[in-house]
């Protein structure tokens, strides 16, 4: 007998869990819609060419690769097989991979369909992504991302609207302690310049980003190894303090970061954005870098500090996302909510609305099969009125059938026993109050419709 | 430069296409809900052990297999590599596969979670499935299945309700020429007995099933090769005629099929089902066999004969689906709609409701950035009232912005020009009538809310 189970790092969702996930999805999706985003979908797998080289070396290792169909070994050079050169052989064995995020497939979509798209193109996309990460608590191999992007404009309005979207989505989810952290790649460049690490820009931002989880003392040696001067450690320290996102504080950035073109450009953009958003729960975080190399302007992250779970969303401006697919000058910006982490926070805080699961509203029991015509007539009438109705499939003891209604939280049970049949009526039991009435067909339908 | 495209056999869905697909999904899902089915989801990939051996040899070949992570060649015996024995090597290279249908993952789910499930368990599931089929018109490697199953009861009520579900779903989709074809595995067994092909039962049913697409003359040789006697060809011919699904016609099955235990059992079941459904558009089709071996009782297929596209849904009763996972005595029944084919039919017949795509309802133009505060104030108010609102991101020429509204079918455009600003008012343009008004903030909001 084989072991029965889903693969590690994946999950089954039962109706209750799924109803919760769909609630979050509705909150995000309805906000996206109100802002004029339109939904698209792309396939679960892409050509490996499309995916590789987009997520760094670590990312490439985490791509799920699909084995070619048929006699997949036939074309592999024997020498590679004999030497067991997995890295070399993989190019022959696999031409497709599962999507790793929604951003790269979106870039591919935009380039492929550019002649059918009206720009600026505002799209959202809610689909699973796949990463061959070592499974651990809160980290899955299949998880749901909810992305929105505006592509085809260098305007800063998308940035402004994404901050507004954060504010209204987290309020809708009742995550009132949400914080939106904002930074700008050009601020990071100005900072790197100031501490003489422009040559090691990527490594510098990777270290900065770690400050979120690792205390500075522990990273100090790494910074020094990179070339940071000892006296600049206190500067790094000062950059870690969150700065309220308002005009006055943005002006003061001049005090901590040396003047440079990059600095002025960043400040000008941040000023424009800050003057058009509510500064509520928004901060500049100079140590925020976001791993992904493709960001070129503003970057975002959203968190709920009272839950120690990392970021619930991230995003930013990219100028060259579609360059690799041959389409230049397509600036865009986007954000991505991680639904799984949001679900974990709502679970931890028990912030689910009541009655998310749309259970059956009426169970019709079966005393014997002779009443089936009446039973199906009631069921049809209730369903016509959009009332979720089940007929218990077997003429089991009534007690068993009521137990089923109880376990399934079904609020009403209809029974046609001997007595009811003689009267041409139906018994209706309210499973919460326990109250039972004998009613005519019309009265029964009315009564249920009124109570639901 | 790499070629830019999605893999063959997969599709991107733009907002218009996706809105159409979601319409079909809503029709199916709302019917499932009304009948008391609850939604679950399972991962996109399963252990290969879970999938292999469930779909026949042909099916096994069509499973998408995921390459193990890391140094996948290290554990493969060198001899298999040198001999390029793909079939042998695959067991070492891949432990996971993409789901091929929703039924097997459902069976795995039921067994794995049996202690948390209240039986009879009515679940539905709407997810993509993956088959490494040669891509061709109307056949995809990724396509959406919409399944409903009742498991944990041998009662025939599920069969009755599935026929009702067919009737109400196809009516909702305005596919009024739909036909539900019904057969019973035990009728097929009685037929095989009668023509002396019980030993070749599977091959016999495979041939019968082909009669749907291939004329009997062309299959005659195959039937004879299987052992059919020449005089029984006319019997096969007579079995091909669809039989109205009512009590009178079911009784007459005795005239064309020899008496046997199997026959009486099948007739008894069909009688019970027929007495509880509307016979509208329902027929018995004795040549319907359904490829899948796991069916043991009633089988279904739904078609729209006026479109030559094959079946839009299929299903049936299975008694041993979970046996392979170690759980016996779990009879169940289910159906599965293929969303892609339904979409093709609705497209061919242009049966889409109007305005499926939820486009932006109001575009606010930008004359210059000085009005942004007013613009965002209106946008916020409209969005609060659930009106889908976009702000054009750049202060381009008004003509350009109106062109955008036109291309995107946005019905209302708000503009704050010099004149409006001086008056503290807003201009509202109805893009369909071309009518333009100058209104106060409150009047503007009211006017839009009224018209939408």
The CA-to-CA distance between both ends of chain B, in Å, stands at 47
The Cα–Cα gap between A315 and A51 comes to: 19
On chain B, the residues whose CB falls within 8 A of the CB of A123 are 15
Specify whether the CB–CB gap between B428 and B422 falls below 8 A.
Answer: no
The Cα–Cα gap between B284 and B252 comes to: 12
Residue A378 has pLDDT above 90, yes or no: yes
Specify whether the CB–CB gap between B4 and A46 falls below 8 A.
Answer: no
The Cα–Cα gap between B339 and B21 comes to: 7
- Tell me the helices (H) and strands (E) count for chain B, helix number first: 19, 17
Q: Look at B35 and A372 and tell me if their CB atoms are within 8 Å.
A: no
Interface size, chain A vs chain B, as Cβ–Cβ contacts under 8 Å = 271
The whole-number pLDDT of residue B192 equals 96
Dihedral sign from CA coordinates of B40, B26, B291, B254? positive
The CA-to-CA distance between both ends of chain A, in Å, stands at 47
Question: What confidence tens digit (pLDDT) does each residue in A4-20 have?
Answer: 899 999 999 999 999 99
Dihedral sign from CA coordinates of B161, B164, B169, B175? positive
The Cα–Cα gap between A177 and B357 comes to: 35
Residue A309 pLDDT grade (very low, low, confident, very high; cuts 50, 70, 90): confident
Nearest residue in A to B123, CA atom:
A15
CATH of domain A15-43+100-349: 3.30.930.10
The model's pTM is 0.96
The whole-number pLDDT of residue A290 equals 81
Q: Token digits for A61? A: 């290792």
User: Which residues, in sequence order, are CB contacts of A257 under 8 Å at separation 6+?
Assistant: A187, A190, A191, A194, A263, A286
Q: Look at A98 and B66 and tell me if their CB atoms are within 8 Å.
A: yes
Which has the closest alpha carbon to B50: B105, B89, B92, B93? Answer: B105
Residue showing tokens 């925020």? A288
**Half-sphere exposure of residue B301: CA atoms within 13 angstroms, side-chain side:** 22
On chain B, the residues whose CB falls within 8 A of the CB of A66 are 64-67, 98
| SS3 call for A406 | helix
Instruction: Go through A331-351 and write b for each residue having 16 or more CB atoms within 10 A of its CB, e for each that does not.
Output: bbbbbbbbbbbbbbbbeeeee
Cross-strand partners of B111: none
CB atoms within 10 A of CB B8: 12
The Cα–Cα gap between B412 and B406 comes to: 10
**Half-sphere exposure of residue A177: CA atoms within 13 angstroms, side-chain side:** 10
Mean pLDDT, rounded, of chain A: 94
Mutate to test the interface with A, among B271, B393, B401 (most CBs of A within 10 A): B393
Question: What confidence tens digit (pLDDT) does each residue in B215-270 have?
Answer: 999 999 999 999 999 999 999 999 999 999 999 999 999 999 999 999 999 999 99
Give how far B361 is from chain A: nearest CA, Å.
8
User: Which residues, in sequence order, are CB contacts of A57 under 8 Å at separation 6+?
Assistant: none
Which has the closest alpha carbon to B156: B292, B317, B323? Answer: B317
Helix axes A339-349, A15-34, angle to 10 degrees: 120
Mean pLDDT for B165-180 is 97
Element housing B444 (H / E): helix B441-451
CATH of domain A362-451: 3.40.50.800
Residue A215 has pLDDT above 60, yes or no: yes
The whole-number pLDDT of residue B292 equals 64
Q: What is the DSSP letter of B413?
A: E
On chain A, the residues whose CB falls within 8 A of the CB of B73 are 81, 84-86, 89
Mean pLDDT for B147-160 is 98
Nearest residue in B to A106, CA atom:
B12
The Cα–Cα gap between B255 and B245 comes to: 16
E strands present in A24-64? 38-39, 45-47
Give how far B191 is from chain A: nearest CA, Å.
30
The whole-number pLDDT of residue A2 equals 58
Mean pLDDT for B128-149 is 93
Nearest residue in B to A386, CA atom:
B34
Give how far A178 is from chain B: nearest CA, Å.
20
Give the CA distances from residue A51 to residues A46, B11, B154, in Å, rounded to whole numbers and listed in that order: 7, 17, 48
Q: What is the DSSP letter of B13?
A: B
The Cα–Cα gap between A62 and A129 comes to: 11
Q: Look at B118 and A93 and tell me if their CB atoms are within 8 Å.
A: no
On chain B, the residues whose CB falls within 8 A of the CB of A357 are 38
Phi/psi class of residue A355: alpha, beta or left (left: φ > 0; alpha: ψ in -120 to 50)? Answer: left
User: Which DSSP string do the residues of B277-295 spell out, in sequence order?
Assistant: S--TTEEE-TT---S-TTE
Mean pLDDT, rounded, of chain B: 94
CB atoms within 10 A of CB B350: 6
Question: What confidence tens digit (pLDDT) does each residue in A396-436 have?
Answer: 999 999 999 999 999 999 999 999 999 999 999 999 999 99
Specify whether the CB–CB gap between B29 and B59 falls below 8 A.
Answer: no
Q: Specify burial of residue B245 (Cβ count, 10 A radius: 0-12, 13-18, 19+).
A: buried
Q: Look at A43 and B12 and tell me if their CB atoms are within 8 Å.
A: yes
The whole-number pLDDT of residue B18 equals 98
- Greatest distance between any 2 Cα atoms in chain A: 95
Residue A78 pLDDT grade (very low, low, confident, very high; cuts 50, 70, 90): confident
For chain A, domain boundaries: 15-43+100-349, 362-451
Range A316-321 contact pairs with CB under 8 angstroms and sequence separation of 24 or more: A316/A185, A316/A290, A317/A158, A317/A159, A317/A185, A318/A294, A319/A154, A320/A294, A320/A296, A321/A103, A321/A107, A321/A151, A321/A294
Angle at B158 between CA B152 and CA B160, to 5 degrees: 160
The whole-number pLDDT of residue A292 equals 64
On chain A, the residues whose CB falls within 8 A of the CB of B14 are 40, 113, 116
Nearest residue in A to B387, CA atom:
A34
Element housing A71 (H / E): none
The torsion angles phi and psi of B330, rounded to 5 degrees, stand at -125, 75
Residue B89 pLDDT grade (very low, low, confident, very high; cuts 50, 70, 90): confident
Residue A139 pLDDT grade (very low, low, confident, very high; cuts 50, 70, 90): confident
Range A73-76 contact pairs with CB under 8 angstroms and sequence separation of 24 or more: A73/B81, A73/B84, A73/B85, A73/B86, A73/B89, A74/B84, A74/B86, A76/B84
Which has the closest alpha carbon to B287: B354, B195, B366? Answer: B195
Mean pLDDT for B62-90 is 85
Residue A221 has pLDDT above 60, yes or no: yes
The whole-number pLDDT of residue A83 equals 81
The Cα–Cα gap between B31 and B172 comes to: 9
């Amino acid at each position: 007998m084989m072991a029965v189970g889903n693969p590690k790092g994946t999950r089954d969702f039962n109706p209750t869990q799924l109803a919760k996930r769909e609630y979050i999805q509705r909150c995000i999706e309805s906000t996206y819609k109100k802002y004029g985003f339109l939904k698209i979908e792309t396939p679960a797998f892409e050509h490996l060419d499309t995916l590789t080289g987009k997520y760094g070396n670590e990312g490439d290792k985490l791509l799920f690769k699909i084995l070619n169909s048929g006699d997949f070994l036939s074309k592999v050079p024997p020498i590679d097989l004999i030497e067991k050169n997995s890295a070399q052989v993989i190019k022959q064995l696999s031409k497709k991979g599962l999507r790793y995020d929604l951003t790269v497939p979106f870039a591919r979509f935009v380039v492929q369909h550019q002649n059918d798209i009206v720009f600026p193109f505002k799209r959202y996309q809610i689909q699973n992504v796949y990463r061959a990460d070592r499974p651990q608590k809160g980290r899955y191999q299949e998880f749901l991302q909810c992305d929105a992007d505006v592509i085809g404009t260098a305007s800063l309005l998308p940035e402004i609207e994404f901050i507004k979207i954060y504010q209204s989505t987290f309020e809708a989810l009742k995550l009132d302690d949400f914080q939106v952290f904002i930074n700008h790649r050009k601020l990071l460049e100005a900072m790197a310049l100031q501490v003489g690490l422009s040559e090691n820009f990527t490594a510098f931002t990777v270290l900065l980003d770690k400050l979120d989880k690792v205390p500075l003392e522990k990273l100090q040696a790494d910074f020094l190894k990179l070339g940071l001067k000892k006296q600049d450690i206190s500067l790094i320290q000062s950059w870690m303090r969150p700065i309220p996102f308002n005009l006055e504080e943005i002006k003061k950035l001049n005090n901590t970061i040396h003047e440079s073109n990059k600095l002025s450009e960043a400040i000008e953009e941040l000023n424009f954005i800050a003057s058009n958003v509510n500064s509520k729960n928004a901060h500049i975080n100079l140590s925020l870098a976001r791993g992904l190399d493709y960001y070129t302007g503003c970057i975002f992250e959203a968190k709920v500090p009272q839950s120690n779970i990392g970021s619930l969303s991230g995003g930013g401006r990219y100028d060259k996302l579609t360059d690799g697919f041959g389409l230049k000058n397509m600036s865009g910006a986007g954000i991505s909510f991680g639904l799984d982490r949001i679900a974990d926070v709502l679970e931890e805080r028990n912030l689910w609305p009541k009655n998310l699961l749309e259970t059956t509203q009426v169970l019709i029991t079966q005393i014997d099969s002779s009443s089936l015509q009446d039973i199906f007539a009631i069921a049809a009438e209730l369903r016509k009125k959009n009332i979720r109705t089940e007929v218990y499939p077997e003429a089991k003891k009534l007690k068993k059938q009521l137990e089923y209604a109880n376990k399934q939280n079904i609020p009403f049970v209809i029974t046609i026993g001997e007595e009811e049949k003689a009267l041409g009526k139906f018994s209706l039991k309210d499973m919460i109050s326990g109250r039972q009435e004998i009613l005519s067909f019309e009265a029964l339908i009315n009564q249920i419709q009124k109570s639901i």
